[in-house]
Structure 1
Amino acid sequence: MLALDPPSGARRASLFDPLKARIVLLGLFVGSMWVTFLVSAALPFLHLTRHGVVPRTPSGLQGVLFAPWLHASLFHIASNTPGLLVLGWLCM
Structure 2
Amino acid sequence: MSAPATAAQPSTFSRFLAPVLLVAAMWVIQFVDAVLPLSFTGFGLRSWDLQGLLGIVLGPLLHANWAHLIANTGPLLVLGCLVAVEGAVRFWTVTAFAAVIGGLGTWLFNAPGTLTVGASVLVFGYFGYVVLRVFSPARLAHRLLYAAIALIVIVLYGGAMLGGVFDAAAGVSWQAHLFGAIGGGLAALGGRRRAVSA
TM-score, structure 1 as length reference: 0.76
The CA distance in 1 between the partners of 2:13 and 2:69, in whole Å, is: 25
- Secondary structure of the equivalent of 2:45? coil
Partner deviation per Cα, 1:38-57 (whole Å, 9 max, x = no partner): 00111132x31121011111
Correspondence for 1:32: 25
Shift of 1:30: 0.7
| 1:81 matches 2:78 | no
Correspondence for 1:3: none
The CA distance in 1 between the partners of 2:27 and 2:46, in whole Å, is: 22
Partner deviation per Cα, 1:44-84 (whole Å, 9 max, x = no partner): 32x31121011111111110110111000111000000110
Count of residues in correspondence between the two structures: 82
Aligned residue runs from structure 1 range 49-64, under 5 A: 49-64=41-56
For residue 90 of structure 1, the aligned residue among 65, 78, 82 is 82
Which amino acid letter does the alignment assign opposite residue 25 of structure 2?
S
Q: Once the two structures are aligned, what percentage of the paired residues are identical? A: 35
Shift of 1:20: 1.6
- Secondary structure of the equivalent of 2:46? coil
Q: Structure 2 unaligned runs (5+)?
A: 85-198
Q: Structure 1 unaligned runs (5+)?
A: 1-9
Instruction: Choose 34-43 or 47-56, whichever is displaced more.
Output: 47-56
The CA distance in 2 between the partners of 1:37 and 1:54, in whole Å, is: 19
The CA distance in 2 between the partners of 1:39 and 1:75, in whole Å, is: 16
Instruction: Choose 59-68 or 47-56, whichever is displaced more.
Output: 47-56
Shift of 1:23: 2.3
Cα RMSD of the aligned pairs, angstroms, is 2.2
